[in-house]
Amino acid sequence: MAKNKPYRFFIYLMARLTAAFLAALPRPVLLFIARGLGRAAYSLVSRHREAALRNLRFAFGRTKSEAEIRKIAREVFENLAQAYADVLLFQKMDPKKLDQWVEMGDALETFRKLLAEGKGIILITSHLGNWELLAAALKLKGVPGKAVARRVRYEPYNKWIENLRRAVQLETIYRSESPREIIQLLRRGEVIGLLPDQDISNLRGVFVNFFGKSAHTSIAPVRLSLRTGAPIITCFVIRRPKGRYQFLIGEIIRPAIQTTREAAILESTQQWMKNCEEMIRRYPGQWGWMHNRWKTTE
């Protein structure tokens, strides 16, 4: 737990006051300001800018020009700023407003069919588009379940985020807590939402192909599926023009042991990671390239 140094509270207080002001603005104005803040962050926050550029070159260096890579990196900062801005509006969110924001397509029908199997659903998404809005959309549409998240080290920030999620009926299970609640939730036939696309070195993982490079990837989703029988589904909420989003569903994955458990884990982990990569390739300006996805090496 981070020490409660006085300057942290001052920064937190300023963040809350700024957020309250921004959330009171009409959404088009808020998103316009957020895009500007994103562009400013790209120019000013050199450490994160250079990390994004480095990772984009690592992934696309042979297929995209330097100008294209820099354009994508700017879009990343703009998208993140807009995504966080929309989360500030969760306090005002309801199902009717959700319909104005998100085109759900046949997502709800897909979830109802899978939930009818009675084994729950393991939902995998990535830090692409607006993952918080994805969880909010499902909860506001009546889909039962919780999301697994990392606890923010400074507790006032953590409580703030919890309250924003609760405004859209979303409850959180923290990654540091016992996995027993996750298993019980699946056995009750509910959805568990996971964000396992980053390189978290203290989680058990395997190395799979990601943008042609070997990437350490969590095996937790597949292990859960093998233990409970719950299918894995990849889902994404992607930003569209004029403040709209689209809910997209990828492949439904049903891990099964054909030869060995280890082989099944590796195969199905590669399968869902490939789904994420395909979506990131389609919308590269909406993924969090500041994270060093290839940090852990074999």
Distances (CA, A) of 296 to 54, 104, 288: 16, 36, 17
Kindly tell me if the per-residue pLDDT of 6 is higher than 80: no
> Which of the four pLDDT bands, split at 50, 70 and 90, describes residue 21?
very high
For residue 14, give both structure tokens: 């300023």
- Whether the CA torsion 276, 232, 84, 176 is positive or negative: it is negative
DSSP code, position 230: P
Q: How confident is the model at residue 240 (pLDDT cuts 50, 70, 90)?
A: very high
Residues 115 and 8: their CA atoms lie apart, in Å, by 43
Q: What pLDDT is recorded for position 3?
A: 52
Are residues 243 and 288 in contact, defined by beta-carbon separation less than 8 angstroms? no
Q: What is the pLDDT of residues 135-184, one digit of tens each?
A: 999 999 999 999 999 888 889 999 999 999 999 999 999 987 778 899 99
pLDDT at 1: 44
Domain ranges, ordered by start, for the chain? 6-286
Burial of 83 (0-12, 13-18, 19+ CB in 10 A): buried
What's the pLDDT band for 102 if we cut at 50, 70, 90?
very high
Give the model confidence (pLDDT) of 178-214 as tens digits.
788 999 999 999 999 999 999 987 789 999 999 999 9
Q: What is the pLDDT of residue 4?
A: 57
Task: Kindly tell me if the per-residue pLDDT of 100 is higher than 70.
Answer: yes
Closest CA to 131 of 279, 21, 292, 24: 279
Q: Which among 181, 165, 163 is positioned nearest to 173, based on CA atoms?
A: 181
Q: Note the pLDDT of residue 61.
A: 82
Read off the pLDDT band of 285 (50, 70, 90). very high
Average pLDDT, the chain: 94
User: Could you identify the residue written with the tokens 């990671």?
Assistant: 273
